[in-house]
Structure 1
Amino acid sequence: MTLWLRIFLVGLTLWTATVVVTAWTENSNLVPTVVLFGSFLVPVTFVVWAYGRDRSPRVTVEMMFKAFVVGGVLGVLGASLLESWLIRPSIVMYVLVGLIEEGVKLAALIFVTRHVKTRTTMDGVILGATVGFGFAAFESAGYAFNALFTAKGLSLSQLVETEVLRGILAPVGHGLWTAIAGGALFAARGRFTVPVVLTYLGVSLLHALWDSMTAIAIAITLVLTGRPWQFELLRIGRVPRVTPWQVHVFTVLNWAGLVTISLVALVWLWTTVRSGRRQREIVSQ
């Protein structure tokens, strides 16, 4: 059994046991353990998996740890500061969030690798993914902590549901987007060339589309299945009641959009990795 799989299975077992014991004993002292295990399990597993990929000897465990922790923390702090003035949800807000979060992660990657002399595309992909997964882990911990508090008191079930959903989606989120940006940055030897800027804008767009997919799915559902009385209520500022069929259409559109965004990013990463391997083969000849 490979190392990353052992880490995942052991971590999943410990997290499940902690959830069960917390629910059984109602011991709130165990809540931080549930939050940390659930938020870090998938990101750490993927970082260990990435460490075994086509990296150079220059990418050490120490560098990976630094990229995950320092890069992740700097990323969430930078995003929190820059996003603090974004209040009202809108299309512009989603675009700005994408630009800010992808920008701070790229900046964090530049900071933690500032002393690296020789850069390859594959090293950039791996270190970029590590920074992205670090960002995702700390961000998920915040979301899980907030999900714990409800109007009726503490809710362990909401905390667990949040962690499971974010854990499932983690591999096609922050880590994937920053891996693409990191590969482009290292391919350009750390310089902000036109391809690097275009890559940054591209992953920021994917990020914005991902965050706004719920709103997009609602809009498309209304266009396809909206009733005149629903549009009339919306016109006067009231939220109309939705039909069961509209709920089904929304769910399909929302998940179809997320899957499409993920596939685009995965294909993009695959082409980046393929290009990096070709460059390495040419250099080694």
Structure 2
Amino acid sequence: MYDSSTVRPSAPRRRPWLRLFLTGLVLWLLTVIVTFVTGNPNLVPTLVLLGSFLVPVTFVVWAFGRRHSGEVTAELLFTTFVTGGVLGVLAASLLETYLLHPSPGLFFGVGLIEEAAKLAVLAFLTRRLQHKYATDGLILGASVGFGFAAFESAGYAFTALFTEQGLSLMQLVQTELLRGLLAPVGHGLWTAILGGILFSASGRAHFAFTRRLVLAYVGVSVLHALWDGMHSIALLVTLVLTGTPYQFGLLERGYEPQPTGTQADLFTVLSWGGLIVVSLIGIAWLVAVRRRADQEARAVLWRIPI
């Protein structure tokens, strides 16, 4: 029997997400140019907001067109993006401030806290949905994750503006470009995985906190930690493989040694290579969750066991 809450939106002839992205990109570029030409500090908030929200909002709009249930409305998507993003950032900031201290496990602690905050916010904001389909969980999880990423990126971009040499618009623009490029394989990806698994009790009114969800939470937190700590990991591996006694001696005395050209090249390869590997693992995991979500959707449609 067909579930009336299930919708099968036809593929739109137009691509609103693409128009949104291109329009936002042009506006951001114009803002960059005018800000550099005029040096008007009043344009900085516009620059920060456009650069930080463009990619996350584009991906959320793209995902919205692929929702499974009519219960996932534009209003709910907006709520999960904005409210979920802000609450996630605030909760993570409070917990990290009072629970974490400098240690080898710092990055893993950050991963555990931030993923828990986003997962809790997602569960709270979507608790009233009558049918919790895994496909919708992927979309709503991505929405919370991208909201978190957008507000976090805005903070990083604003902070990058201030340097020892004074205000630096170039540092701000570079930060926004880098975080915009990496946004699709960061918070949005990780929370989408958790959202799909959280909603995996297809068609039920209540969440099922299963062993699979706990394992996924730990796994996503590990990916998060590796992503955040890849700079340090690459630096450590570079020193272990190519470090000289003289460099280790400087480190023991608290000085930072000057890297050789070979070390700089190796560090770059390891850091970017590590980020690519983490991204590929996350994408492969997301694809697997999506395939299982499609199986669950077909099972609900035809009322067959998985």
Per-residue deviation, residues 45-72 of structure 1 (Å, max 9, x unmatched): 0000000114211111000000000100
Point out where structure 2 has 5 or more consecutive residues left out of the alignment: 1-13
Q: Distance in 1 between matches of 2:287 and 2:100?
A: 36
Q: Which residue of 2 aligns with 1:271?
A: 288
Structure 2 counterparts to residues 141-160 of structure 1, below 5 A? 141-160=154-173
Please tell me whether residue 107 in structure 1 is matched to residue 120 in structure 2: yes
Q: Which amino acid aligns with 1:50?
A: A
Distance 1:270 1:162, change over 3 A: same
Q: Which residue of the other structure, out of 15, 20, 29, is the alignment partner of 1:7? A: 20
Distance (whole Å) between structure 1 residues aligned to residue 124 and residue 97 of structure 2: 23
3-state SS in 2 of match to 1:91? coil
User: Mean Cα displacement is larger for which, 13-22 or 146-155?
Assistant: 146-155
Number of the residue aligned with 2:7: none
Aligned equivalent of 1:34 = 47
For the residues of structure 2 that align with 1:91 and 1:9, how far apart are their CA atoms? 42
* Aligned equivalent of 1:79: 92
**Would you say 1:209 and 2:226 are equivalent positions?**
yes
Shift of 1:86: 5.9
Which amino acid counterpart does residue 213 of structure 1 have in structure 2? M
Alignment of 1:1-285 (within 5 A): 1-85=14-98, 88-188=101-201, 189-285=206-302
Q: In the alignment, residue 45 of structure 1 is paired with which amino acid? A: T
Shift in Å at residue 21 of structure 1?
A: 0.5
Q: Distance in 2 between matches of 1:276 and 1:54?
A: 11
Letter in 2 for 1:190: F
Inter-partner Cα distance in structure 2 for 1:147 and 1:93: 22
Q: Is the 8 A contact 2:100 2:109 kept in 1?
A: no
**Rounded Cα–Cα distance in structure 2 between residues aligned with 1:134 and 1:54:** 18
Instruction: Tell me if structure 1 keeps the 8 A contact 2:112–2:218.
Output: yes
Which TM-score applies when normalising by structure 1?
Answer: 0.97
- Percent identity, aligned pairs only? 60
Greater share of helix residues, 1 or 2? 1
Provide TM-score, normalisation by structure 2.
Answer: 0.91
Contact 1:91–1:212 (8 Å) recurs in 2 = no
Amino acid in the other structure paired with 1:201 = V
Distance 2:185 2:169 in 1: 26
Gaps of 5+ in 1: none
Per-residue CA shift, 1:198-234, capped at 9, x if unaligned?
1111100100010000000011111111112112222
Distance 1:244 1:58 in 2: 56
2:254 and 2:172 map into 1 onto residues whose CA distance is 33
Confirm or deny: 8 A CA contact 2:52 2:153 kept in the other structure.
yes
AA aligned opposite 1:271: A
CA contact (8 A) 1:127 1:182 kept: yes
Shift of the alpha carbon at 1:84? 1.1
Whether the 8 Å CA contact 2:138–2:195 is kept in 1: the answer is yes
1:283 to partner: Cα distance: 1.9
Paired amino acid for 2:155:
G
Higher mean alpha-carbon deviation, 189-198 vs 272-281, is at 189-198
| Off by >3 Å, runs of 4+ in structure 1 | 85-90
Work out whether residues 68 and 131 of structure 1, in 8 Å CA contact, stay in contact via their aligned partners in 2: yes
| Conserved 8 A contact 2:69-2:136 | yes
